[in-house]
Structure 1
């Protein structure tokens, strides 16, 4: 394209004017240090200087004075505005000064000279909560409280063999789910998956002996959850939500003897430990996800908050209750992370049946985002998005 093709009619905040010449100033900011008894100065670079645009032009016509007043008002309005520069295109600027020259010799017109500065943005230091570490710290407190409560309640020593067997079977249910959670695939590094598989197999093979040592059992389960987080990667959150569902059903056996009551207590204690260790892991996974939209992040947060609320209602461990409350606060505050500006989901209705490629281009100027629209809306055929039917799309177009 030639310069004539790119030439634009000038305006500022919608107030138009004719242009005779346009000057621009660029460069760097420097501080020159000239020290006593030193012949060689030192010039310190302080960054790029604000770009300055000076436009000289005129307004002409029977009603030029109305256009003049509109331009004066535009220049006296506080804050940045949009300048359509004849040679530079659209710029966000502030008006530094406007001079108007009128003479009786040249009636029906005025000459104007306007100086603009690029608006830039106000950047001030601000405190930002480290959501990842805050959730991790709160989660560690939950795990410590859960471990202490479990060791106090879980006992197999001194009871009949069926108490030990029942606890072993319960542990095997947990390890079976971790190994094959149904539809949730390993998504971490290969080495992490291998380490997880070895540790899980070792825990399952030695379940009966480990169950007889409550402290070791708690420690091994905590380690398994950490290894599972790495092995399942981006699918870890779904894994732990599923695991919590596996250990949420109340004990349904007999409790008519001391041994049966201990069997029931062991069942509940093991379930509670797994839930209270899985919750922090699910929270750590959720805060690290790159959510496509604010609504997706909000849904994940709401799911976690509800799970924590349920656990707080059912636990009899006072320390766990307090630490779960602290974790809930950090989850509500940190998901999505405050410094992340996520697009919103909005509704868009195609005016006619269109291919997803064309809809993506119309919305975002990027046809490659068609898969995103198809994935979210699941039409019968990506080549035919029905006209008149609402679609969910992201607002960042």
Structure 2
């Protein structure tokens, strides 16, 4: 075999290996490169340097051998390009080199981010030329212009937005309402207790009557069912309640929690209500100590709210306790008037405390729609309005003003949280269909089937009613 033949065979084998490697790797490196362009103007590239990484601040301290490196986020991507424009390029076309140069200069002079096509990284959006465009025209290169570009990728223009926490404002307004009610209560009771033991007995009788309502409320079956609303996972349409809304959900119970453990905790909480109730009746025997008496009532109300895992149950239970207007018959004597005044004053203190706690409980209520948020808002505001009228008629100016502020805070909180939620609308279909099919048809998202099941409350999810209300979007 001749040397020439041997070399030819080796060359052929080399080309075959190269072809196979190119095929296995998806083509040659050069064939995978993209044509570079900035703002729609193409150009050739000799080299590009890409820089990025983390933005840090280095802190050094006396007599410490190491430094602390504080991470401040990502650095912007910067591309430093050495390239060229060539007339009637065989790769990217482009036409005359002078017109290409003018087009590239116009792009660099215009404001706003542009699209940059990187040879290997591909398309990069929102890129700006951050340094002057360098364009070198040389006699020996003729119809080739050398260019230098420094580009940086930017982001959206977002400004910090300060906003008040509407939930915190409700909390503060609720506490202020209770403090104002205590002030008005103390001013009245001071004269009543001087009339003798009958007034104290009336106080005990009044809180005992209200406590009997409390005991019936904490035995609410729906609240017991709502205990499982904080469990992680999907337990059907009745499980999540107002702990899971359209935009946000409250914290779930620990992963180790079970139905049995949550029911056990609920029993403990109901026992706490009974303990607080006994303390309240005891405090009524020393009603002249208005601070202790008011604190005892507040403890009962807070304990009742704590028995409800579902915020919707807390609002419903407290609304029942707020409807307390004691009217035991009394004589027309001075002592009888004092007894009537005492039960009226206690009724006002109890109702204001309950309404304030109900408003606070509503801050953890997660509405499922704009209509749901408006419904909860209206129900709470209605009770506040009743008490505002009562306080105004009684001349309790401090309570009146505090309840008006609480009303404003509740409206602002539920309006702000409900504003971003979709409204309810009525959907009608020719026949009964499964929830999965309806969710796909209504929202293009079959995963929202549980949502429409909760709204429509069908007998079975496979047989949805032909007309029902659900989220519009």
1:10–1:16: 8 Å Cα contact kept in structure 2? Answer: no
1:142–1:280: 8 Å Cα contact kept in structure 2? Answer: yes
1:23–1:54: 8 Å Cα contact kept in structure 2? Answer: yes
Q: Which runs of 5+ in 2 are unaligned?
A: 1-24, 86-90, 96-100, 136-146, 231-252, 254-261
Residues 1:281 and 1:165: Cα distance change in structure 2 (over 3 Å) = closer
For the pair 1:93 / 2:132, whether they are aligned, the reply is no
| 1:222, distance to aligned residue in structure 2 (A) | 0.9
| Deviation readout 1:102-153 (Å, 9 max, x if unpaired) | xxxxxxxxxx999764332445555443444433332222212223333454
Structure 2 partner of 1:282: 358
More off after superposition, 18-27 vs 254-263: 18-27
Structure 1 partner of 2:210: 171
Q: Distance in 1 between matches of 2:159 and 2:325?
A: 53
2:301–2:354: 8 Å Cα contact kept in structure 1? Answer: yes
Residues 1:291 and 1:243: Cα distance change in structure 2 (over 3 Å) = closer
**Aligned counterpart in structure 2 of residue 142 of structure 1, from 177, 196, 199:** 177
For the pair 1:183 / 2:222, whether they are aligned, the reply is yes
Q: Distance in 2 between matches of 1:43 and 1:209?
A: 59
| 1:302, distance to aligned residue in structure 2 (A) | 4.1
More off after superposition, 354-363 vs 317-326: 354-363
**Aligned counterpart in structure 1 of residue 318 of structure 2, from 243, 255, 259:** 243
Structure 2 partner of 1:51: 77
SS of residue matched to 2:223 = coil
1:200–1:224: 8 Å Cα contact kept in structure 2? Answer: yes
| 1:228, distance to aligned residue in structure 2 (A) | 2.4
| 1:212, distance to aligned residue in structure 2 (A) | 3.0
Q: Distance in 1 between matches of 2:358 and 2:35?
A: 56
1:163–1:262: 8 Å Cα contact kept in structure 2? Answer: no
Q: Distance in 2 between matches of 1:132 and 1:96?
A: 45
Q: Distance in 1 between matches of 2:103 and 2:384?
A: 59
Structure 1 partner of 2:398: 319
Q: Distance in 2 between matches of 1:80 and 1:388?
A: 49
Residues 1:321 and 1:45: Cα distance change in structure 2 (over 3 Å) = closer
Q: Distance in 2 between matches of 1:194 and 1:61?
A: 80
SS of residue matched to 2:129 = strand
Structure 1 partner of 2:53: 27
**Aligned counterpart in structure 2 of residue 257 of structure 1, from 295, 311, 332:** 332
Structure 1 partner of 2:154: 119
Residues 1:164 and 1:146: Cα distance change in structure 2 (over 3 Å) = closer
For the pair 1:229 / 2:305, whether they are aligned, the reply is yes
SS of residue matched to 1:93 = strand
2:115–2:124: 8 Å Cα contact kept in structure 1? Answer: yes
Structure 1 partner of 2:285: 212
Q: Distance in 2 between matches of 1:74 and 1:351?
A: 54
| 1:345, distance to aligned residue in structure 2 (A) | 0.6
Q: Distance in 1 between matches of 2:428 and 2:49?
A: 45
1:30–1:43: 8 Å Cα contact kept in structure 2? Answer: no
The structure with more radius of gyration: 2
Alignment of 1:59-70 (within 5 A): none
1:240–1:279: 8 Å Cα contact kept in structure 2? Answer: no
Q: Distance in 2 between matches of 1:278 and 1:247?
A: 6
RMSD: 5.7
Structure 2 partner of 1:355: 437
Q: Distance in 2 between matches of 1:326 and 1:219?
A: 22
| 1:292, distance to aligned residue in structure 2 (A) | 4.4
Structure 2 partner of 1:345: 422
**Aligned counterpart in structure 1 of residue 376 of structure 2, from 278, 287, 300:** 300
Q: Distance in 2 between matches of 1:386 and 1:17?
A: 58
Residues 1:172 and 1:281: Cα distance change in structure 2 (over 3 Å) = closer
| Deviation readout 1:54-108 (Å, 9 max, x if unpaired) | 899998699xxxxx99999998775557889897688652443798x9xxxxxxx
Structure 2 partner of 1:200: 273
Q: How many correspondences in the alignment? A: 377
More off after superposition, 351-360 vs 272-281: 351-360
| Deviation readout 1:156-181 (Å, 9 max, x if unpaired) | 84439994685255223332244224
Structure 2 partner of 1:104: none
2:207–2:284: 8 Å Cα contact kept in structure 1? Answer: yes
TM-score (norm 1): 0.65
